Structure 1
Amino acid sequence: MFENQERTHLDELGEFGLISHLTKNIKLTQKSTIKGVGDDAAVLDHAGKKLLVSTDMLLEGIHFDLAYTPLKHLGYKAIQVNLSDIYAMNGTASQVTVSIGMSSKFPLEAIEELYEGIYLACDNYNVDLVGGDTTASKQGLVISVTVLGYADEKDIVYRNTAEEGDLICVSGDLGGAYTGLQLLEREKLVYIENPNIQPDLEGKDYIVERQLKPEARKDIIDLLKELNVKPTSMIDVSDGLASELLHICKQSDKGCNLYEEKIPIDPMTYETAREFGLDPTVCALSGGEDYELLFTVKQAEYDKIKFKMDFTIIGYITEPNAGCNLITKSGNVHPLKAQGWNAFGSQA
């Protein structure tokens, strides 16, 4: 469950002792952070910028499985999935708060390992940890992260502003996180059946990392600024490409044509999906947790982006009566359907 096998029971520290222990080495780097941890509330000053706020909760047994999720990776991922929401607004993430609920099975060393990942993510993305809460939990580990960011009003990008004729683009590649999850679940079952068998993940590092340690795409926001390209709409790919594109189309009152042959899928994702008897395209459309950025740009921007390897043009926005369509590799047209993650059920 965690690498450090020494165990210091949390009741030896108490809540305030634990908070003090976990926050004693925090260094603030953002000019907008006036007061961080240590008072009743953080004090921030964004000097006329628009404040952006997003929050996510991760629950043991629902969003992660500690049988194969290292706590350091989990802490890192908990921050990344929140930062991604700010970047999807074309904003700059600046502060986070982290609240955790934990059962008595977790010693101090386990919580330290979790926070190592949290601090690493904050350091890598120049974000200040400015507060949070800790509590006991009877439901296993609970992690709630709120991220704060900012942007000039003119720079903010919403989901509901795509226009007919806009090009649909996506960063990175898709489906890797889902196929990585299938691999981890398979190895977990093998281990349960025979604990003497070691996990067989050789050569699959990329898709395993896509699941356990995703990276929010701040670099794409920086690149678009360098290119002087402002997306007309944007969303992050947390629930699958199909679901996210349908969000943009529904909220913008538009249709779309998405081309299957253009969807970026890494060779390892493709091969692993086939090993599991899965359609790689379905993994990309419905798998989720890739945390790439899906955005639309005006056709006039095509020359600025056409040779960029960081993202791919995968279709275009149409008028609403045309519907939302997937054009297959063989040229057939199918209605685009969302079959991604359902927070109150299972994969559709």
Structure 2
Amino acid sequence: MIRIGIILGSTRHNRHGDQVAWWVLDSASRRGDAEFELIDLRDHPLPHFDEAAPPMFGPSANEHTRAWTARIAPFDGFIVVTPEYNGGVPGVLKNAFDHAFAEWTDKAVAFVGYGVNGGARAVVQLRTVCGTLGMADVAHSVSVGVLTDFEDNTSFVAREHHDATLGKTLDQLVAWTTALTALRRPADDTAAISDRIDRLVECLRTKDLDGIGALYTDDAVSFDIEPPLRHRGRAAKLANWARVFQVFDTMSYEFRDLTFTVGADVAYGYGFGRLRGTLRTGEVTDGMWVRATLCLRKVGGAWLIAHDQVSVPLDIPSGKALVDLEP
């Protein structure tokens, strides 16, 4: 089933948007043709765009950006609930759009505006922004007036025409989101998997066992380079890395030539990996290249590692591992 995120585009402490967004979520959740989830920008505080390169050129080195792109990547489409500030889009919302690229492309988007003019001018600006990002903005939208649709300028009252307009907007959004699936899925999933692998490398560098564990399924099976032949379960995989962390003072991990084939909910990849670092003894080791295989499964919209395997070639006559080969 397709997943649609409802982005609440205001972070002000006395905002009206949370009432509107929860109304949208409550109404949408009664449908049976999509899953809906609220995405509150308060939960993702982003600085003014400060990336070294535009997001279309690859993953960010900044954790706040990586967390934001990981949050929106699994969704197939979006509803943006936006106020209108001085005739335009709130800066925090525009900034959130600017921090991502591939995570928006080939996805449908609809708008629910609120303000003195029903957020109409903010919606017009957002259509231009979203079109530039390769999104398909649906024609129907909802306008909520802060002077007419809030009792005592405080409590939002959804009127009959609001419900009807929202229904038409959701109908169109679901239809367009479904129609764009063939264009969207490979790019979105490949980017999400790439982010997962980048996250794994970062967790290894920082010796973050909890972070590594979050990237694996509960029933993950690992054919690791050390015995036994099979390590079953997340805890067994983490125990392996815990032993490695005890040996190294500082360490890094590199993947090379890692290539993935991605399906609807299963993906596999292969390439080469290398562990380097400084041992507790002070000795610097350059490690060795190993052959690496990674299999991932989509669980709850997120890609998790269900199986990994590393190996080194064997010289058959001598029975010795060949640890000096280069990719």
TM bin, normalised by shorter chain, reads under 0.3
TM-score by length of 1: 0.26
TM-score by length of 2: 0.27
Point out which structure has higher relative CO (alpha carbons under 8 A, 6+ apart).
1
Larger Rg: 2
